[in-house]
């Protein structure tokens, strides 16, 4: 598998044909809404069973949150966006933001996967299976639910808000800001927007959390507006956390420092 960075290719694949969505104006669906906080693994794409190797052997699929956001993995790239419900199980997705990796052997599958979100009109759900349908009722994709508990450790936590402000990737940013707590050795790994970060952590009763020896590489990225210094200061100041519906909040006392959302890969 050849991997190389490329600029703009993902945007071309996934923005055409989609209308922007305004969050907070979603109508309630007439039937069951799609369960949030679990990973929906792609099982069929059109009439094709999905059993192909992907980057790092991660599963293709997505997770929805209660505040109408979507995140997932498309076979090569991570992606995120918004969605809204309509009457009679209608659903619509915004244009997706995605990382910029290029995987030559996954182009066809990834392109078809993103097209599903552009063309889906309604959904059907039963017995842990989710089906996306085109306007004429043609099945576009089938997903299987992988229900699993979310824990603060061994989860990929993507930065969602920093100091109360939403965070989005810039066009020149190679990957999103995130961190992961490894339970096997109490280490912290992540990416701060320009530099890789690392350190250690400890958890205590009462949702206490303590970070130590947090450091980062020394790359200079003058065109990044991720506010990397502010992000790293979160780990210096955080002393408590809350974990609700796949969303992690790091706090200093009662003050919210940053909010993260769980991203599932496999």
Residues 89, 181 within the same domain: no
Residue with tokens 């420092």: 257
- Both tokens of 97, joined, read 């933001």
The number of domains in the chain is 2
In a domain, 253, yes or no: yes
Average pLDDT over residues 132-139: 94
**Which of 120, 146, 172 represents a domain boundary (last residue)?**
146
Average pLDDT over residues 202-214: 94
Average pLDDT over residues 6-12: 36
Contact of 111 with 119, CB cutoff 8 Å: no
Q: Which domain holds residue 130?
A: 3-146
Residues 176, 130 within the same domain: no
Residues 10, 125 within the same domain: yes
In a domain, 187, yes or no: yes
Average pLDDT over residues 54-80: 83
Does the structure show a pLDDT above 50 at 64?
yes
In a domain, 151, yes or no: no
**Which of 146, 174, 196 represents a domain boundary (last residue)?**
146
CATH (domain of 77): 2.40.128.270
pLDDT value of residue 138: 92
In a domain, 138, yes or no: yes
Does the structure show a pLDDT above 60 at 206?
yes
- Using DSSP's 3-state secondary structure scheme, residue 232 falls into helix
Separation CA 260–CA 176 (nearest Å): 12
Lowest-confidence segment of 22-36, 54-68, 203-217 by average pLDDT = 22-36
Residues 51, 120 within the same domain: yes
Q: What does the DSSP 8-state code read for residue 237?
A: H
Residues 123, 173 within the same domain: no
Residues 14, 130 within the same domain: yes
**Which of 128, 146, 164 represents a domain boundary (last residue)?**
146
Residues 166, 259 within the same domain: yes
- pLDDT, tens digit, for every residue of 171-185? 666 678 899 999 999
Residues 197, 169 within the same domain: yes
Residues 65, 119 within the same domain: yes
pLDDT value of residue 14: 44
Short-list 76, 112, 118, 75, CA closest to 96? 118
pLDDT value of residue 6: 35
Contact of 95 with 83, CB cutoff 8 Å: no
pLDDT value of residue 100: 79
Q: What whole-number percentage of the chain has pLDDT above 90? A: 42
In a domain, 209, yes or no: yes
Lowest-confidence segment of 19-23, 65-69, 80-84, 208-212 by average pLDDT = 19-23
pTM of the entire predicted model: 0.53
């Amino acid at each position: 598998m050849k991997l190389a960075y490329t600029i703009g290719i993902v945007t071309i694949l996934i923005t055409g044909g989609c209308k922007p969505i305004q969050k907070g104006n979603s109508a309630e669906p007439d039937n069951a809404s799609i369960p949030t906080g679990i990973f929906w693994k792609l099982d069929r794409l059109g009439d094709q069973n999905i059993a192909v190797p992907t980057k790092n052997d991660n599963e293709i699929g997505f997770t929805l949150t209660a505040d109408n956001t979507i995140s997932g993995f498309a076979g090569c790239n991570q992606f995120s966006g918004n969605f809204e419900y309509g009457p009679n199980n209608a659903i619509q997705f915004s244009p997706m933001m995605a990382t910029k990796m290029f995987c030559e052997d996954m182009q066809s599958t990834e392109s078809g996967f993103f097209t599903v979100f552009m063309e889906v009109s309604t959904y059907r759900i039963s017995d842990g299976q989710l089906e996306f349908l085109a306007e004429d009722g043609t099945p576009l994709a089938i997903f299987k639910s992988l229900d699993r508990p979310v824990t603060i450790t061994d989860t990929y936590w993507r930065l969602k808000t920093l100091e109360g402000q939403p965070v989005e990737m810039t066009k020149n940013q190679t990957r999103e800001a995130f961190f992961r707590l490894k339970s096997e050795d109490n280490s912290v790994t992540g990416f701060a927007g320009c530099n890789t970060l690392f350190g250690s952590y400890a958890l205590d009763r009462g949702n206490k959390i303590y970070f130590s020896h947090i450091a980062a590489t020394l790359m200079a990225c003058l065109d990044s507006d991720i506010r990397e210094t502010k992000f790293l200061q979160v780990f210096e100041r955080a002393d408590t956390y809350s974990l609700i519906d796949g969303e992690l909040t790091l706090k200093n006392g009662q003050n919210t420092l940053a909010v993260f959302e769980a991203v599932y890969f496999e």
